[in-house]
């Protein structure tokens, strides 16, 4: 196994066995989609302490404390390559912090491991163990190796972010995770790392992630992001989450953010919900749901769902209202699927009755929870005093309220 700690400061000999310098740095090409980034070459300090770059092709052999060149030094050097994909292991990787995705921990790069992959020297793994530290200190003993277990991270699992001081899990890998998992990850980072990561995500994903973050950390993140960026993210959030977040913030800040939100119907809805007390059905409800008229056929209703589907996180029911917005009933997706295409909605919808209760906008959270538990409801329609449909409370809203830190 070849480590960076072995190569660094190793003497470099030319083809005549003469020492021509010592290794200073190793450059890798991080651009390829290959699993292991290839070494581009080494930077050495020659006898006059000038830095010289030697491309990997001119290196004859890699030893643990010695590197041999195929030719004379002056025949082996080239200009030090530069570019976004060229990473200096000494400056950009070694000793930097990494956020370890698997364990969600913050660790440091103690050493780096190289190996030959299909003829070319590549960077394989990052040593994050205490063995790495000991190796750097030049301590090697069987006794210590017994105490400290090896611990490696594969390079491919780690991404270099914005080529700055520290390594962190990159956005590309991370989006494969569930937003709630990314949220957990961010909760473990400090505010700066967290907001950097959040900003590197696609705004839609970032909005979902922000929704899942613990309230107190969310507050800090929003502060750190500033009103403008937060507003961009919030534009992508669902109305009820948006309301939760705004309620979390101190008055001045929330006004500032609201003023920066993109002007659309959403903001009207937010303002509307914010009029209701947090502890009532009105405060919990979302105003994002699909409505249809009772005269529609099943086919038309399905077409309508297809048309607006991308605007909604999840669709379980469609709500049937008359022309005045009065609530008539509800149709589940299941009902729609099993019904004949030509049937009218009126025939298949369930009308409000004792088994399909609705709830008044001012009802308390306790009442709502009990009602939904009693009748095993996934969601319940919220009506105002004129029995107009003004919102829907889903079981998610209840859960979020009960376990805010999950």
Partner 1 sequence: MSTAVTPTNGTKSRFWTKIMFFLSVIGPGIIAANADNDAGGISTYSAVGAHFGFKMLWVLLLVTISLAITQEMGVRIGLVTRQGLGGVIREHFGVRWTTFAMITMLVANMGTITAEFAGVASSFEIFGVSKYLSVPLAALVVWFVLYKGSFKTTQKIFLVFSAFYIVYIINGFIVKPDFSGALTSLVTPTVEWTTPFLLTMIALIGTTITPWGQFFIQSYVVDKGLKIKHYKAEKIEVIAGAFITDIVSFFIIISTAATLYKFGIKITDAKDAAIALQPLAGDFAQMLFSFGLFSASMLGAFILPVATAYALCEAFGWEYGFDTNWENGKAFYITILVSIIVPAILVLIPSMPLVKVMIFSQDINGILLPIILIFVMLIVNNKKIMGEFTNKPIGNIISWLTIIGIIGATVLLVISSVFGFN
Site of interaction with partner 1 (CB under 8 A):
94-97, 103, 105-110, 128, 130, 133, 136-137, 165-166, 190-192, 220, 223-224
108/312 with CB nearer partner 1: 108
Distance separating alpha carbons of residues 350 and 339, to the nearest angstrom: 13
Distance separating alpha carbons of residues 297 and 342, to the nearest angstrom: 6
Structural tokens at position 209? 């992630």
**Closest approach of partner 1 to the CB of residue 369, in Å:** 30
Least Cα distance to 218 among 239, 240, 198 occurs for 198
**Closest approach of partner 1 to the CB of residue 110, in Å:** 7
User: Measured in Å, how far apart are the chain's first and last C-alpha atoms?
Assistant: 43
Least Cα distance to 316 among 306, 331, 338 occurs for 331
29/129 with CB nearer partner 1: 129
* φ, ψ for residue 369, nearest 5 deg: -60, -45
**Closest approach of partner 1 to the CB of residue 130, in Å:** 8
**Closest approach of partner 1 to the CB of residue 192, in Å:** 5
159/269 with CB nearer partner 1: 159
Instruction: List, in sequence order, every residue forming a beta bridge with 39; answer none if it has no partner.
Output: 28
Residue with tokens 């090409």: 29
Residues near 279 by beta carbon (within 8 Å), at least 6 away in sequence: 364, 365
**Closest approach of partner 1 to the CB of residue 256, in Å:** 11
198/398 with CB nearer partner 1: 198
- Element housing 330 (H / E): strand 327-332
193/280 with CB nearer partner 1: 193
**Closest approach of partner 1 to the CB of residue 190, in Å:** 7
98/398 with CB nearer partner 1: 98
138/374 with CB nearer partner 1: 138
Instruction: List, in sequence order, every residue forming a beta bridge with 391; answer none if it has no partner.
Output: 382
115/190 with CB nearer partner 1: 190
**Closest approach of partner 1 to the CB of residue 378, in Å:** 34
**Closest approach of partner 1 to the CB of residue 327, in Å:** 46
**Closest approach of partner 1 to the CB of residue 108, in Å:** 3
List C-alpha distances in Å: 228 to 232, 258, 260.
6, 10, 6
Distance of CA 201 to the CA centre of its chain: 6
Distance separating alpha carbons of residues 166 and 193, to the nearest angstrom: 10
Residues near 141 by beta carbon (within 8 Å), at least 6 away in sequence: none
Distance separating alpha carbons of residues 175 and 157, to the nearest angstrom: 13
110/286 with CB nearer partner 1: 110
Surface-to-core class of residue 23, CB atoms within 10 Å of its CB (0-12 exposed, 13-18 middle, 19+ buried): buried
């Amino acid at each position: 196994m070849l480590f960076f700690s072995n190569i660094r400061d190793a003497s470099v000999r030319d083809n005549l066995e003469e020492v021509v310098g010592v290794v200073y740095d190793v450059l890798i090409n991080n651009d390829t989609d290959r699993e292991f980034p290839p070494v581009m070459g080494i930077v050495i300090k020659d006898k006059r302490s000038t830095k010289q770059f030697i491309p990997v092709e001119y290196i004859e052999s890699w030893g643990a404390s010695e590197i041999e060149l195929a030719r004379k030094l002056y025949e082996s050097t080239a200009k030090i390559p530069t570019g976004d994909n060229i990473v200096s292991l000494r400056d950009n990787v070694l000793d930097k912090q990494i956020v370890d995705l698997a364990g969600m921990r913050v660790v440091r790069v103690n050493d780096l491991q190289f190996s030959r992959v299909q003829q070319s020297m590549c960077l394989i793994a990052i040593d994050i163990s205490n063995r790495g530290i000991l190796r750097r200190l030049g301590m090697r003993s069987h006794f210590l190796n017994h105490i400290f277990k090896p611990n490696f991270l594969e390079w491919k699992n780690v991404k270099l972010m914005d080529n700055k001081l520290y390594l962190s899990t990159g956005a590309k890998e991370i989006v494969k995770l569930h937003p709630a998992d990314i949220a957990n990850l961010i909760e473990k980072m400090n505010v700066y790392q967290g907001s950097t990561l959040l900003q590197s995500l696609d705004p839609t994903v970032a909005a979902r992630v922000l929704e899942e973050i613990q309230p107190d950390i969310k507050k800090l993140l929003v502060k750190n992001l500033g009103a403008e960026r937060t507003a961009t993210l919030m534009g992508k959030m669902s109305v009820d989450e948006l309301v939760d977040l705004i309620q979390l913030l101190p008055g001045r800040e929330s006004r500032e953010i609201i003023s920066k939100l993109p002007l659309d119907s959403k903001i009207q809805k937010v303002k509307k919900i914010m009029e209701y007390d947090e502890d009532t059905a009105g405060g919990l409800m979302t105003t994002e749901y699909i409505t249809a008229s009772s005269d529609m056929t099943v086919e038309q209703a399905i077409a309508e769902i297809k048309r607006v589907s991308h605007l909604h996180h999840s669709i379980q029911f469609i709500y049937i209202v008359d022309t005045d917005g009065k609530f008539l009933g509800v149709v589940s997706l299941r009902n729609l699927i099993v019904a004949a295409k030509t049937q009218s909605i009126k025939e298949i919808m369930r009308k409000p009755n004792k088994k399909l209760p609705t709830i008044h906008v001012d009802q308390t959270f306790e009442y709502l929870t009990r009602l939904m538990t009693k009748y095993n409801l996934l969601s319940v329609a919220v009506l105002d005093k004129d029995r107009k449909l003004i919102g829907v409370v889903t079981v998610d809203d209840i859960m979020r309220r009960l376990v805010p830190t999950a």
